Amino acid sequence: MSSSVRISVYIQPRARRTEIAGRYGSDIKIRVAAPPVDHAANEALLAFVAERLGVRRRDVRLIAGATSRRKVLEIDGITAERIQTLLA
């Protein structure tokens, strides 16, 4: 049985490149090169997080914040400790 972990992220769309930029309060700050048009920034965020964590793209879901800079992601198949290590 697979468990899921939820993380809070704060994104900055239209950045120079997609990267982790540290913390924004209690959230993980991620800069995304894609613009916030037609959900491009959300898709880029999900693909980046999946690649960074080494999980399939379908294992990373946007739970809250589709039109906000603050988002909640749910990730299957990985522990909270491993997420903190890989996104640090």
Task: For residue range 30-79, list pLDDT tens digits in order.
Answer: 999 999 999 999 999 999 999 999 999 999 999 999 999 999 999 999 99
What's the whole-number mean pLDDT along residues 8-15? 96
Higher pLDDT, 2 or 8: 8
Residue 10 pLDDT > 60: yes
Q: Which one-letter amino acid corresponds to residue 13?
A: P
Average pLDDT over residues 2-13: 91
Q: Which domains, ranges and CATH numbers included, belong to the chain?
A: 4-86 (3.30.1200.10)
In whole angstroms, what is the distance from residue 70 CA to residue 22 CA? 14
Across the range 20-32, mean pLDDT stands at 95
List the 60-64 sheet strands across, edge first: 19-24, 27-31, 4-12, 70-76, 60-64
Alpha-carbon gap, residue 22 to 37, rounded angstroms? 24
φ/ψ bin of 84: left (φ > 0), alpha (ψ from -120 to 50), beta (otherwise): alpha
